[in-house]
Amino acid sequence: MMNKLIARTLPYFPKKFVWVFSRKYIAGETIDEAILACRQLNDNGMLVTVDLLGEFITNLDQAKNNKEEYLTIIERFESENIKGNYSLKPTSFGLLIDKEVCYQYVREIVARAAASNNFVRIDMEDSKCVDLEIEMFRQLKAEFPAHVGLVFQAYLKRTLDDLKALMDIHSEEQPTNYRLCKGIYVEPKEIAYKDYDEVNACYLEDLEYLLKNKVYVGIATHDRKLVEGAIKIITENNIPNEQFEFQMLYGVTPELRKEILNKGYKMRIYVPYGKDWFGYSTRRLKENPKMATHIIKSLFIKG
How far apart CA 217 and CA 177 sit, in angstroms, is 6
Catalytic residue among 123, 206, 257, 276: 123
Structure confidence by residue, pLDDT tens digits, 84-126? 999 999 999 999 999 999 999 999 999 999 999 999 999 999 9
Percent with pLDDT over 90 in the chain = 78
Residue 193's CB is within 10 A of a number of other CB atoms, namely 21
Domain at 27-273, CATH class: alpha beta
Q: Would you call 123 a catalytic residue per the annotation?
A: yes
This prediction's pTM: 0.90
Write the single-letter amino acid at 300: F
Least confident of 44-53, 95-104, 121-130, 285-294: 285-294
**Average pLDDT value for the chain:** 90
Going by pLDDT thresholds of 50, 70 and 90, the confidence category of residue 297 is low
Kindly state the average pLDDT of the residues 225-254.
96
What kind and span of H or E run contains 48?
A: strand 47-52
Q: Which of 105, 120, 117 is nearest to 151 (CA)?
A: 120
Structure confidence by residue, pLDDT tens digits, 65-89? 999 999 999 999 999 999 999 999 9
Catalytic residue among 179, 257, 268, 283: 179
Residues 6+ apart with CB under 8 A from 241: 264, 265, 266
How far apart CA 162 and CA 153 sit, in angstroms, is 11
Residues 6+ apart with CB under 8 A from 101: 60, 63, 93, 94
